[in-house]
Structure 1
């Protein structure tokens, strides 16, 4: 390019929002506010770098699950006017969360190669429209079984914050929406815009999509009612270790019956599973908080930090301090979240 040629101005990141009936207000607000704060150099709410529009085929007010109503625009622009179309879901017991015209609009967007985002339970809406076939959906651990009950042949994760599978992104919801929105800002606008938004939102760092949801109960992965009782009991007693006899009692089984069930379902002893749950909780606290190691040790049932540190290293291959240092240096540490990898199978 010669000096006489004009510099092409940056096009703003443009997102169209499709709000379902009884949508989750916090998910929508976090997304749009991240865009707003990234849109200029200060907190002036101009639309210099980002633009957004609330879409509706009818223009009527849309009520959120908490009762707050949002007024959409009128008419549906061509999907290609947007970089992304974000479907914000909400309560799962609502019949026809979006109307047929909006569903057809989403299918048209995919055909025209416009990326679509399912926010919170928006993944259910996309799956109902047939858009998640042969794609992996990400949902909150809270809705793991709900999704599989409705779409048993679909691929699903409920331990990550969000997943991008080709032209569709699905996000578990909650605070992960801000992480996703910030990642889009970084991708389309740049580091300074992302930094500006996160600083004003008082968010220390943006989490990557593959990071683990703050609470991801192992019990979500098993439909066996006895197993779920045991796993929930374990998850609720990470700070004050319980005996395996107590776990068996929570299942209304003998200890031997419980052990046979664990070995049949998980190929592990109950004690090994319980130890893994404690270590996974510890890892989350090491990576997601600045708590002293002694406090983390106590929170997952260890009497001192030295014993905790030895068990942590046996499980994850490094000490808690080393893991924290890696995250500080690299901004993000991705570890295999296989619940049963690398732990001694002892009673």
Structure 2
């Protein structure tokens, strides 16, 4: 493949995410040609692999390589498309060696979805910031405690390493690279054909804020509590009851409440409510949804209930925050699980001899 305006080689991991591949590749396709002919004129792309055998995507659709590994210097970027994290080896040794050789030659390496894990496992993300999904933030910290994960941005550009959390953020990353190499008009045209108003910048927050920072995640060592936190994160709009969570964890409600208090100094109900309010705060600052819609999205019975709880924690009503501009979120809300209790005590939300939201 000869060098052109933007050259990209894709490497697929076992159980890769099909959306990440198709979104990235479709953006290149639309940028490559003036019409909709899909001709590789301004952009060129290919799928490489060690074996001619198709690679199975996480949804079950197999995709075969187009060619064997090529000289990495003919590419501007080699994109590793990740997927399921705990479903066996993601790449074979030949593919890992190819990525290391490409990195040694200064070729830009891009990891999308869990491709960031692949690059890190190959030793290619040392001393660099690495973007991961909030969903896999704890997994990354456990495996790479000496790395610098970023779970609050869509993607991170750190010199010749680019990592993206995945999902719809892949379209934003593709637009960024298209604009870098082919200009803003080409990137804008690509996004409009994809029915995207405009590409979001790399610093844009991931749509789902994580429950806790690295410090908070490290503080929770009990596996059942960590699984409970994940269940809460995944069920913000239709909250589970404490009994339902305990049942999924195969423990009694009483035992679960005790384990949760030991780990967080809070009741499960209180923490869950605060997590939903924090998500509501994020939606108020980052979306155009009405307060009523946000109340429903965060699992409150009605707008009035949401507004009362929101004012109690943030000191302003949702409408006031919208009208007067972003009120600073109490910093400790973003610092981890233990700091949440400190917030309540510092702001006198509850008497100091009681836990938050008993």
Please state which band the TM-score falls in when normalised by the shorter chain.
0.7 to 0.9
| 1:177 matches 2:170 | yes
Per the TM alignment, residue 62 of structure 1 is displaced from its structure 2 partner at its CA by 2.8
User: Paired residue for 1:34?
Assistant: 27
Alignment gaps of 5+ in structure 1: 1-9, 325-334
Q: Is residue 297–residue 308 contact of structure 1 (8 Å, CA) maintained in 2?
A: no
Alignment gaps of 5+ in structure 2: 247-251, 350-355
Per the TM alignment, residue 85 of structure 1 is displaced from its structure 2 partner at its CA by 0.6
Tell me how far apart the structure 1 counterparts of residues 101 and 238 of structure 2 sit (CA, whole Å): 54
**192 and 69 in structure 1: CA distance in 2 versus 1, 3 angstrom threshold:** same
Per the TM alignment, residue 117 of structure 1 is displaced from its structure 2 partner at its CA by 0.6
**50 and 223 in structure 1: CA distance in 2 versus 1, 3 angstrom threshold:** farther
Deviations 1:115-170 (A, max 9, x none): 10111111121122111222232222332333334333333233332222222111
Match of 1:139 among 119, 132, 140: 132
Q: Is residue 161–residue 211 contact of structure 1 (8 Å, CA) maintained in 2?
A: yes
Tell me how far apart the structure 1 counterparts of residues 178 and 123 of structure 2 sit (CA, whole Å): 28
| 1:104 matches 2:102 | no
- Equivalent positions of 1:45-60 (< 5 A) are 45-60=38-53
Relative to the length of structure 1, the TM-score reads 0.75
Q: Is residue 310–residue 317 contact of structure 2 (8 Å, CA) maintained in 1?
A: no
Tell me how far apart the structure 2 counterparts of residues 97 and 247 of structure 1 sit (CA, whole Å): 32
Relative to the length of structure 2, the TM-score reads 0.73
**193 and 156 in structure 1: CA distance in 2 versus 1, 3 angstrom threshold:** same
**259 and 56 in structure 1: CA distance in 2 versus 1, 3 angstrom threshold:** closer
Q: Is residue 14–residue 84 contact of structure 1 (8 Å, CA) maintained in 2?
A: yes
Q: Is residue 29–residue 39 contact of structure 2 (8 Å, CA) maintained in 1?
A: yes
- Equivalent positions of 1:9-20 (< 5 A) are 11-20=4-13
Match of 1:320 among 322, 327, 330: 322
User: Paired residue for 2:18?
Assistant: 25
Match of 1:166 among 139, 155, 159: 159
User: Paired residue for 2:255?
Assistant: 252
Number of corresponding residues: 323
Tell me how far apart the structure 2 counterparts of residues 96 and 135 of structure 1 sit (CA, whole Å): 23
